[in-house]
Amino acid sequence: MSSIIQLLPDHVANQIAAGEVVQRPASVVKELLENAVDAGATDIKLIIKDAGKTLVQVIDNGKGMSVTDARLCFARHATSKIRLAEDLFALHTKGFRGEALASIAAIAHVELKTKQDQEELGTHLIIEGSKFVSQDVAVLPKGTSFSVKNLFFNIPARRNFLKSDTVEHRHIVDEFQRVALAHPNIHFSYYHNGSDLFNLPQSNFRQRIVNIFAGKTNEKLVPIQETTEIVGIQGFVSKPEFAKKSKGEQFFFVNNRFIKSPYLHHAVMAAYEGLLKDGSQPSYFIYLDVPPNTIDINIHPTKTEIKFDDESALYAILRSAIKHSLGQFNVAPILDFERDSSLDTPYSYKDQEGSFPTIQIDTAFNPFATDEKPVRFSGGSGGGSYKKEETASWEGLYTGLKQEAEMVFGTTEEDIQFETEEVTSRLFEEHEVEKAESKIYQIHKKYIVNPIKSGMLIVDQNRAHQRVLYEQFLTSMTVHQAASQQLLFPLNLYFSSAELELISELKPSLVNTGFVFEETNDEHVIISGLPVNISESDVSKVLEELLNELQHGIPENSFSQNDSIAKSMAKSLAVKTGAYLTEKEQENLINGLFACKDPNVSPFQKPTFITLSVEDLDKKFAL
């Protein structure tokens, strides 16, 4: 019987293994950047063409490689970083598997230029699909440059699987930011298609965060700091009022390595308990230092997950460190000189001068006189007036409360009206019912109920308004003649560079909705006109939510791009459940809804209204 098991040829094995390490251009970026960091570079340049599909290049000024190492680095499990299994538990480097370069070289065209400081000349090497194509001696600066071209050239299925440039580029920016945030002491720069996207000078953590996320980030941050035996924590969390709708800037670093940890995220959220509006997300940049032997990084090939020895202690320490900082921050406003101090004075005392208490004695008072009104106290002899006076002044302190109490409890019988038979029967008089037919009600600040001939119409106010706005936006975008309201003072909005990039891509569609952009540069946009249905105070929220929804890619064709924008803006702007609507507003909303092309469903295909016929009601009562 012949044997059927065969060993895979090396290049096939490499390709398969590569799939695990290299999922997309961003994976190459991550591996090359981390190698540069491990090589002790103080200056790292990232150069990208076409979202990494054409070129990913990383140039560093690190220690470089010898001729032998330059060849060896492409061999699988070739690494200078660990020698023994025990080394795995004392890792101080990013890489350790010795897999990345072998994997990348298996599925791309790679060019390596490298020179060690002490050498005169460097090595220039080309390897394509795991095959060495050329090797020269070359005059080079100290350090290493890896160029990775035509990723997945030999695996068309993978190449076709790549997403749009916007999506792939977004992933690259994410990786770049993670490495750059973890190493503020290294100068990073990033060029995409010839323009420089980031230039981050050597600095400290705070400055690095601000340099990356631009604008007003600095004033949003609260420092956190804690040192214990099992962990050192430092970093920044955002003040609660700057929490965002979207889960954006949330970073954990463990020993300067970016990690994802739903568990630690939970600890952060627990620290914010009670401080955030429903569903909003704080930003955080948290750097944890733990002894390398208390973590295991070896559990995931892309190494963004790690295992801690003592997770629950870490959780508790992190939560309390953040709580402490937020607490300090919450105390701070009391010392704030700009704060209106009258807010701290209770009741109605704020406008009154302090005065000395006085004692008034009614010398004419005679407790035995009969025509006096009885005094209600059991005070022994003499001091009636005094006591009374005292009570009055103490009562004064509670004036506000007393009035409120009176409002709640009513004075006596006159104010409380019990529902009588009479009242009840009046409800059913003919003319009243007729009047009600034309009346619209809002119930639970959520539904609008409108009696109609056959029964009643119940409209979900939020979904209905989404539909109305959605169709308005779509119309103005497709006919290119949106009305816009000119702003007296143009709005200056700050965004991160990744967000600004998205905005500039979306600009034509946004202009069609009525936005007028006066200026866009590399850290902010100035908006001088708005679509008529957006108020000034809504702008940043609307844009933020839009960017969040589109961060994983803008639809390629303009039709679906318009559609996504209209949907997102309609969702942000629609009246929410819980909002009170005047009768007029309720009426407008219902009329607007039924003027829509497709009033039955929200832009997200949820029903906007239901009807209940009289028969339906009858059936219910027949039970």
Q: Which is nearer to Mg ion, 100 or 110 (CB)?
A: 100
Q: Of the listed pieces 72-80, 333-341, 510-518, 522-530, which binds ligand ADP according to CB under 6 A? A: 72-80
Among 62, 64, 95, 599, binds Mg ion (CB under 5 A): 95
Q: Are 162 and 26 in contact (CB under 8 A)?
A: no
Using CB under 6 A as the binding rule, whether residue 545 contacts ligand ADP is answered as no
Q: Are 469 and 595 in contact (CB under 8 A)?
A: no
How far is Cα 478 from Cα 211, in angstroms, rounded to an integer?
38
**From Mg ion, ligand ADP, none, interface partner of 39 (C-beta below 5 to 8 A by class):** ligand ADP
Using CB under 6 A as the binding rule, whether residue 122 contacts ligand ADP is answered as no
Q: Which is nearer to ligand ADP, 82 or 526 (CB)?
A: 82
Among 14, 15, 27, 35, binds Mg ion (CB under 5 A): 35
Q: Of the listed pieces 92-100, 182-190, 317-325, 600-608, which binds Mg ion according to CB under 5 A? A: 92-100
How far is Cα 604 from Cα 473, in angstroms, rounded to an integer?
15
Q: How far is CA 454 from the centre of its chain?
A: 46
The interface mask with ligand ADP, positions 142-171, x = CB under 6 A, is --x---------------------------
Using CB under 6 A as the binding rule, whether residue 98 contacts ligand ADP is answered as yes
Q: Which is nearer to ligand ADP, 66 or 294 (CB)?
A: 66
Coil, helix or strand at residue 581? coil
Q: Which is nearer to ligand ADP, 305 or 549 (CB)?
A: 305
Among 71, 81, 324, 524, binds ligand ADP (CB under 6 A): 81
Q: How far is CA 253 from the centre of its chain?
A: 18
Coil, helix or strand at residue 317? helix
* Least distance in angstroms from the C-beta of 239 to ligand ADP: 38
Q: How many C-beta neighbours within 10 Å does residue 337 have? A: 5
Among 100, 306, 468, 573, binds Mg ion (CB under 5 A): 100
Strand residue runs (E) in 461-523: 484-494, 516-520
**From ligand ADP, Mg ion, none, interface partner of 471 (C-beta below 5 to 8 A by class):** none
Residues forming beta bridges with residue 126, ordered by sequence position:
111, 134
**How is residue 159 written in tokens?**
């190449």
How far is Cα 585 from Cα 580, in angstroms, rounded to an integer?
9
Total site size for Mg ion, rule CB under 5 A = 3
Q: Of the listed pieces 60-68, 270-278, 323-331, 511-519, which binds ligand ADP according to CB under 6 A? A: 60-68
The interface mask with ligand ADP, positions 24-53, x = CB under 6 A, is -------x---xx--x--------------
Using CB under 6 A as the binding rule, whether residue 65 contacts ligand ADP is answered as yes
- Closest CA relative to residue 159, chosen from 23, 15, 28, 47: 23
Question: Which residues in 367-401 are b (16+ Cβ under 10 Å) and which e?
Answer: eeeeeeeeeeeeeeeebbbeebbeeeeeeeeeeee
Beta-carbon contacts of 108 under 8 Å, excluding residues fewer than 6 positions away, are: 28, 128, 129, 148, 149, 150, 151, 152, 153
Using CB under 6 A as the binding rule, whether residue 101 contacts ligand ADP is answered as yes
**From ligand ADP, Mg ion, none, interface partner of 193 (C-beta below 5 to 8 A by class):** none
Q: Are 538 and 571 in contact (CB under 8 A)?
A: no
* Least distance in angstroms from the C-beta of 482 to Mg ion: 51
* Least distance in angstroms from the C-beta of 553 to ligand ADP: 29
Q: Which is nearer to Mg ion, 25 or 95 (CB)?
A: 95
Using CB under 6 A as the binding rule, whether residue 471 contacts ligand ADP is answered as no
Residue 503 burial by Cβ neighbours in a 10 Å radius (0-12, 13-18, 19+): buried
* Least distance in angstroms from the C-beta of 295 to Mg ion: 18
Using CB under 5 A as the binding rule, whether residue 62 contacts Mg ion is answered as no
Q: Which is nearer to ligand ADP, 73 or 570 (CB)?
A: 73
Integer-rounded Cα Rg, in Å, for the chain is: 35
How far is Cα 30 from Cα 176, in angstroms, rounded to an integer?
7
Q: Which is nearer to Mg ion, 35 or 189 (CB)?
A: 35
**From Mg ion, ligand ADP, none, interface partner of 144 (C-beta below 5 to 8 A by class):** ligand ADP
* Least distance in angstroms from the C-beta of 152 to ligand ADP: 18
Using CB under 6 A as the binding rule, whether residue 100 contacts ligand ADP is answered as yes
Q: Which is nearer to ligand ADP, 75 or 361 (CB)?
A: 75
* Least distance in angstroms from the C-beta of 31 to Mg ion: 5
* Least distance in angstroms from the C-beta of 288 to ligand ADP: 22
Beta-carbon contacts of 460 under 8 Å, excluding residues fewer than 6 positions away, are: 446, 447, 602, 606, 607, 608, 609
- Closest CA relative to residue 489, chosen from 438, 539, 414: 539
Pairing relationship of beta strands 447-452 and 524-531 according to DSSP bridges: unpaired
As a 3-state breakdown, the chain gives helix, strand, coil percent values, each rounded to 5, of 40, 20, 35
Minimal CB distance residue for Mg ion: 95
Give the footprint of Mg ion on this chain (CB under 5 A): 35, 95, 100
Which residues are near ligand ADP by CB under 6 A? 31, 35-36, 39, 60, 62-65, 73, 78-81, 95-101, 144
